[in-house]
Every structure is written in structure tokens, then in C-alpha cells.
A = this chain, B = another copy of it.
Amino acid sequence: MKSLLTHFIFLTLSFYMSAQLSLAERLGYSKSDKLLIVHADDLGISHSENHASFTALEMGTVSSTSLIVPSPWFLEVAEFKKIRPDADIGIHLTLTSEWVNYKWRPVTNAESLVDFNGYFFDNCDDLENNARFKDVEKELKAQIELAISNGINPTHLDIHMGCLVYSSIDYFKLYLKLGREYKIPVMLTYGGLPEEYKKVIKNEDVIIDNVYSAGAQHFDQEGGLAKRYTDVLTSLKPGVHALIIHTAYDNDEMQHLTIYKKYWASKWRQDDFDFFTSQKFKQIIKEENIKLITWKEIGNKLIKKE
């Protein structure tokens, strides 16, 4: 009885303390630390994307990546993971195939998720207008399972193009549920979340302070993406943040894969690669005293408690 009481007091205290501590503190850092996940999306879509992202990971300047499981080059990422078991690779849950002349299909027989050619729709609206919940749930689970069965051991979940989960509370709940089921963090921040979404977040869910990325206006501005990233880094506040980028080489494969698109296309991805493998980037994070962290570290410390 005494033991049970002690246990109860300990749990209550832990809960109370963790509710009071910042995420940085819960991770073992100080409240004033600036912690950043540099997160390269879209692994698997091309050899160009894979090789550039592997290179940036190995240089240590990209700290985390996420993988499009239905993509044609998926197994090249699984092979890389075998060679580099510590590489931080999450699942970029994917329900769209957005390029014009290059396509992928669902990993399940998900009839409500595909266009007349059997490819995922190329935009979130068509997806939202057609998707049946059961098909989405089955497909997303299958993507995670496929990654696991190929040795990926995903460090986190996030959503390709932000489709569905930010337009419907049911899909948002599914997103959270998948993270809890597989005991891995989902990429999530409070900024911009409607109140009803915030209400379904539980204490066990990891919420980071900010998710940054570049937009079309940054690509077009003077100084381009490098200026955007420099601005984000030099104004970063203490806390736990993610910065979403896309690293690939601006080569023949990538130029034709992203044909007819200007934003998030081949040149954009080369700019991302160039900036995040540059001396300038290393210098900024040193000067700003920014620590690069991984999703794996977050999952291990707060969810798996290894």
C-alpha cells in the first residue's frame, strides 16, 4: 500500500513538473537553449533528392529527414539506413503525387485516394473532396508498416504538403493517434492551430515551439532562400524548433521531375542544399549558439524513455 502511494505521488509530481517545464528542459537542456531540427523532406522521390539529403545528413548540417514511402526510390533510402543506422529518418506521410510528369501510387488499394490513372491526386483539395477515412487510415498505417519492415525504424511522423490533417479534426486525431500507437513524435506546433484542435492534444504528445519553412515570397525576394534562412536563424528564440527544407541537386533528373513548377522545384532544392552545407550556415549556428537536435533524441527522451 505504501509502495502504491509512493508511486502515485511520484507520478503526480512527474506530471506536474513536466507540465511546468519547457520542452527544452524536459529534453535536458536549459530554458535559454536554442534547439533546432533541420529537417529535409521528400526523401525517396529521386536519386537526386536522396543523394543530396544523405550528403547533408552525413555532414551533420541537416539533422533529420522524412521519407515518402510510396515513392519510387524508397528502397534506396532503406539501403542508406542499413549503412547508417543512426540516420534520423521519419515518415513523410503522403497522400498526394504533385509533380506533372512523374508519379507514384498508394501502397494500398485505396480507391478514394487516386485519380483516373490510379496515382494519388496532385493537390490537397481533390484529396479532401474524395478521400474516405478508412482508406486514409489504412494507407497511412501501411506506409509506416512498410517503412518498419524495410528497416527504417522511423523517428517521427509528419505530413507531406500538410494535406487533410489541418483541414479536418478527424484526420488531425488520426495523425495524433498514429504517433501514439507507434510511440514516435508527430511534428506539431500550436501556432495557427484552431482551438478545437488544441483541445485534442494530450499531455503525452510532443509539441515543439515553432515550425519554420520558406515560402514562394522568400524564393522571389532579393537574397532568396538564403536570406530567409539567415533571418530565421539569427532571430531564433530559445526553445525547440524545426526548419523544413528540401535538399536535392538541380540536375537533369530533378529539373524534369519538377518541370513546369517554380516553387519547391529543382533550383529551390539546390539552393537549400547549398545553404545548409555551407560554411556560412555552420558559422551562423555557431555564432547564434544554436544546437542541432534530432527527432530521434526527442522520441527517445520523451516517449520511448530509453
Contacts and interface: CB of A to CB of B under 8 A. Distances in A.
A246 to B, nearest CB: 18
B47 A75 contact: no
Contact of A75 (B100, B146, B149): B100
A76 B101 contact: yes
A257 interface: yes
B118 A47 contact: no
A104 interface: yes
A120 to B, nearest CB: 12
A36 B118 CA distance: 36
Copies in the complex: 2
A104 B72 contact: yes
A149 B79 contact: no
Contacts of A100: 75
B102 A72 contact: yes
Question: Which residue, A51, A109, A256, has most C-beta atoms of chain B within 10 A?
Answer: A256
A102 B117 contact: no
A118 B109 CA distance: 10
A105 interface: yes
Main secondary structure of the interface of A (DSSP, over half): loop
Given A75-B102, A102-B72, A103-B74, A256 B47 contact: yes
Nearest to A99: B75
Contacts of A116: 149
Contacts of A73: 101-102
Interface of A: 46-48, 51, 72-76, 79, 100-105, 107, 109, 116-118, 146, 149-150, 251-253, 256-257
17 contacts: A46-B253, A47-B102, A47-B253, A47-B257, A51-B252, A51-B256, A72-B72, A73-B101, A73-B102, A75-B100, A79-B101, A107-B118, A117-B149, A117-B150, A118-B146, A252-B253, A253-B253
